[in-house]
Amino acid sequence: MKTKRLLILNFIMSLALTACATGYHENNLFGGYSDKAEGSNVYRVTFTGNGFTDATSTYKKAMRRSAELTLQKNKRYFEVLNHRNYVNSSSNTYSGGVRISTGQPVSEVKFRIIDENSPTAYDARKVIAQTSE
């Protein structure tokens, strides 16, 4: 009985810790962004949310990070080469047979920083203004 109470308390505490959608920050245990250079002015940004973050939010945050990297390189425009959204899912079975499944929405954006505006370009300043929390 004591084990079951501890399990329930543990579950409630974990819900309390993750009860909000993932904030905008570098990736940690609860999600966030990461980025990697893949070539000359080509980058991949990944934003991982928690179970309370929707795919639209993860995509907007990945785009925000793309815009920040563009401005850090003293450029204003970037082009999205490709993007994808998916869910990392996992489940755990605890003593007493309780099974908890979770899903983390993930958005990946591969982009190229460019020198001038084009019909397919994003303005980094506008992206940041539109995605500010």
Determine the 3-state secondary structure of 54 from DSSP.
Answer: coil
Tell me: pLDDT of 110 over 50.
yes
User: How does pLDDT run across 51-100, given as a tens digit for each residue?
Assistant: 788 899 999 999 999 999 999 999 999 999 999 999 988 767 776 777 77
Element (H, E) at 28: none
The number of distinct structural domains making up the chain is 1
pLDDT digits (tens, 9 = 90+) for 29-52: 888 999 999 999 999 999 999 878
User: Is pLDDT at 104 greater than 80 in this prediction?
Assistant: yes
Residue 54's domain spans which residues? 2-131
Q: Calculate the alpha carbon distances from 125 to 20, 96, 102, 128 in Å.
A: 27, 52, 35, 5
Whole-model pTM: value is: 0.77
- In angstroms, the CA 103 to CA 49 distance is 9
Tokens of 51: 């179970």
